[in-house]
Amino acid sequence: MASTTQSADPPRKLRLAVLLSGNGTSLENLFEQIDTGLPAEVVCVLSSKKSAFGLRRAESRGIPAIAVPRRDYADVARFNDALHEVLARFEPELVCLLGFLSPFELRGRYAGRALNVHPALIPAFSGQGFYGHHVHEAVLAAGVKQSGATVHFVGDAYDEGPILLQESVPVLDDDSPETLAARVQALERKLVPQAIRLIAENRVRIDGRRTRILPSQDEIQF
């Protein structure tokens, strides 16, 4: 009698919405990670700037790319009305803020379902006004010996919310904001896919302001 084997079901792909404001290098890295097996799919890309090259990156892959310009709205609330109206059309399971320079309101819909990446070790060098090169300039001015990157769940205030992943890089004596930024960005490209994989594998639990990462099936000892 011929035997048959039943293949395992492929892992479920987590539906992602990406919010950005600029070049979209983190988005491109995410695409590359998905191409090599990250269990996720980008269902839409939204930008707070019409000129953001990240929109072109999404379009080149046939992914809906939508500009929601912050300057077109009188206040943050109306801007978020527009963001949430677009997001509702695509029903993402996780919203990823990858270089998004405008406030994103959870509105009870995305609590525990929105991630932000920050180019420093929160709570240091974080909060309103600390973004992009401003962060790295402040790190160098402070004379600290370590900086890094933080992936955290979005909270109700700037750069707050439970931290999921965080790692450091050294600050070198001859660093400029540009050289430090390059090292931090390389770390971000590592941490963001790791965070998405953990969520896709249902291994993250949020307990107040802390997160707990559950072991993978391979790590469980029987």
CA 69 – CA 102 distance, rounded (Å):
10
The CA-atom distances, in angstroms, between 12 and each of 166, 171, 189, 199 are 26, 39, 22, 11
Is position 133 annotated as part of the catalytic site? no
Active-site position among 118, 133, 134, 136? 118
DSSP state at residue 98: S
Give the C-alpha separation, 198 to 91, whole Å: 20
C-alpha 69/C-alpha 182 separation (Å) is 28
DSSP alpha helices (H): ranges in the chain?
25-35, 53-60, 76-90, 133-142, 177-200
Residue 143, burial from CB neighbour count under 10 angstroms (0-12, 13-18, 19+): exposed
Interhelix angle 25-35/177-200, nearest 10 degrees? 40
| Pairing assessment for the beta strands 94-97 and 114-118 based on DSSP bridges | parallel
Catalytic residue ranges:
118
